[in-house]
Amino acid sequence: MQNKPDHDNGNVEVYHHRGDNLPAHGSHDEEVLSEDRVKAYWRANVKLLLVLLTIWFTVSYGFGILLVDWLNQVSLFGFKLGFWWAQQGSIYVFVILIFVYVALIGRIDRKFGVDDSDTGSDREGERP
């Protein structure tokens, strides 16, 4: 993986898109990332998304719909299990999934030095 920015290479063009409502972001020491670094970051993000969306699918479409009859054979506190996943359980898991994503993607952001925190100091490697 290429970690160094290559400003000084004559064949490289640095792109910044413009917009009327660009988000605020931190001042990083290194304002230019290589294409490879972006690719690696994106691979890590997509991997995380796949895991979380598998859980998302399993609790709602899996437990709540496809396997509902099978799970309904089990009953806890008068709640048939499949029915509980469809009307309560899946919603709780959805909430947890979003906060887990926020935490884990934040960690990946810092690892790759692309987080939007106000200071660059909480990036890995610069931590005390």
Partner 1 sequence: MTTQMLTYIVVGLTFALYIGIAVWSRAASTKDFYVAGAGVHPLTNGMATAADWMSAGSFISIAGMIAFAGYDGSVYLMGWTGGYVLLALLLAPYLRMFGQYTVPDFIGERYYSSSARVVAVICLVFICFTYVAGQMRGVGVVFSRFLEVEITTGVFIGMAVVFFYAVLGGMKGITYTQVAQYCVMIFAYITPAIFVSMLVTGNPVPQLGLASEVQDGSGLRVLEKLDQVLVDLGFTPYTDGSKAMIDVFTITLVLMAGTAGLPHVIVRFFTVPKVSDARKSAGYALVFIALLYTTAPALAAFARLTFIDTVNNTAYAEAPSWVKTWEDIGLIAWLDKNEDGTIQYAAGDAFEGAPVFVGGAGEHGQKLVENTPLDNTNEVYVDRDIMMLASPEIANLPPWVLALVAAGGLAAALSTAAGLLLVVSTSLSHDLLKKTLRPDITEKQELLYARGAAAVAVCFAGYLGINPPGFVAQVIAFAFGLAAASLFPAIFLGIFVRNMNREGAIAGMLSGLLFTAAYIVYFKFVNPAASTPDNWWLGISPEGIGSLGMMINFAVAFTVSRFTAQTPDYVKALVDDVRIPSGAGVAHRH
Determine the Cα–Cα distance for residues 61 and 100; give it in Å rounded to an integer: 20
Among 3, 47, 70, 94, binds partner 1 (CB under 8 A): 94
CA atoms within 13 A on the CB side of 128: 0
CB 71 within 8 Å of CB 82: yes
From 32, 40, 58, 111, residue interacting with partner 1 (rule: CB under 8 A): 32
User: Where does this chain bind partner 1 (CB under 8 A)?
Assistant: 5-7, 9, 11-17, 19-26, 28, 30-35, 38, 41-42, 45-46, 49, 52-53, 56, 60-61, 64-66, 68, 72, 76-80, 83, 86-88, 90-92, 94-95, 97-99, 101-102, 105-106, 109, 113-117
